[in-house]
Amino acid sequence: MGSLKEDTKTTGWAARDPSGLLSPYTYTLRNTGAEDVLIKVICCGICHTDIHQIKNDLGMSNYPMVPGHEVVGEIMEVGPEVSKFKVGDCVGVGCLVGCCGSCHPCKAEVEQYCNKKIWSYNDVYTDGRPTQGGFADSMVVHQKFVVKIPEGMSPEQVAPLLCAGVTVYSPLNHFGLKESGLRGGILGLGGVGHMGVLIAKAMGHHVTVISSSDKKKEEALDVLGADDYLVSSDVERMQELADSFDYIIDTVPVHHPLEPSLTLLKLDGKLILMGVINVPLQFVSPLLMIGRKTITGTFIGSMKETQEMLEFCKEKGVRSTIEVVKMDYINTAMERLAKNDVRYRFVVDVIGSNLENE
């Protein structure tokens, strides 16, 4: 099918100002271009980033803003040059919808590091229109930024994989940490942390959840299947486990000391930062030097890694822990997420919601 003859209107739930309150908003989608697909949204996960954006926590928000970047839907129309998808395919869209295509990261197929990347929402597309996200009836997306959902995976289960899932899969893939038998730590057990446990366990790793208290111990061990649970203030156990981890994925999004994690790493161990923290972090250099340790960070994942990760999760039967809600609950869900009152990811049933009414 070719481009739509007329502009298509769609309804999403948008924030109008930094209060972050979402309500119905009707806007016009761009025409389906030669390599675009028109997607009817089935569901969309809620990420902590959505809260930061709707409330202008980063000082870069533009309104009205329809958030949502863990999108699963069905293709309703394809542009004439679309080769990867057909009408009726179940597909996913993550954090990005565009890149320059010519820089070093783009040519290396790690377009998430392109300096001209275009976000799924709160950004401006190449045609000058604002991008809007997945808390909406439909989206138009270039085929490069769409992934095929493997057959048999439920849309609600897939949604959190498109951001939280690939965020933990990417560093394990890039740093060669996929082999069975490695010992890994997951610091922080929120949306990204819980995916870290599931994916690392599926790779055959011995996984320890590291936390500041023991309140999530039962859940980590009995529900998520972690092998061990370490309270970071337990001096005796911290000493016992020193120099024993191949890597630690640090998902904590607020200021915290790095030194306790560095002492846990063995020779050549990696501390991989995932949390967005806007204040300086500190450590003493001998902790790195004496064990040739690395502090690094990665950012979401590439489209190639996203597709690989979905196939991996399908093969290994990885299932995220979710709470499905309707769109009219989304403001409450945002409030609860801000308090970490969710296990472990909200997913909005978009197709089953009445988007027109508050």
* pLDDT one-digit tens code per residue, 27-68: 999 989 999 999 999 999 999 899 999 999 989 999 999 999
Q: Is 60 exceeded by the pLDDT of residue 2?
A: no
Averaged pLDDT, 269-294 = 94
pLDDT tens digit string along 160-210? 999 999 999 999 999 999 999 999 999 999 889 999 999 999 999 999 999
Q: What confidence score (pLDDT) does residue 6 get?
A: 67
pLDDT tens digit string along 67-101? 999 999 999 999 999 999 999 999 999 999 999 99
Query: pLDDT-derived band of residue 221, with 50, 70 and 90 as boundaries?
Result: very high
pLDDT tens digit string along 105-133? 999 999 999 999 999 999 999 999 999 99
Q: What is the DSSP string of 111-170?
A: GGG-TT-EESSSSB-TTSPBP--SSBSEEEEEGGG-EEPPTT--HHHHGGGGTHHHHHHH
What is the C-alpha to C-alpha distance for residues 135 and 133, in angstroms, rounded to an integer?
A: 6
CA-to-CA dists, residue 142 to 74, 121, 319, angstroms: 14, 14, 28
Query: pLDDT-derived band of residue 358, with 50, 70 and 90 as boundaries?
Result: low
Contacts of 171 (CB under 8 A, 6+ apart): 177, 247, 249, 270, 272, 296, 298
Q: Is 50 exceeded by the pLDDT of residue 1?
A: no
Please name the residue that has the structure tokens 């030097």: 289
pTM exceeds 0.75: yes
Q: Is 80 exceeded by the pLDDT of residue 3?
A: no
What is the C-alpha to C-alpha distance for residues 266 and 292, in angstroms, rounded to an integer?
A: 9
pLDDT tens digit string along 308-317? 999 999 999 9
Task: State the average pLDDT for the chain.
Answer: 95
Backbone angles phi, psi at 298, to 5 degrees: -130, 165
Q: Is 90 exceeded by the pLDDT of residue 139?
A: yes
Residue 244 exposure: Cα atoms within 13 Å on the Cβ side:
14
Give the number of other Cβ atoms within 10 Å of residue 86's Cβ: 10
Distance between the two ends of the chain, CA-based, in angstroms? Answer: 35
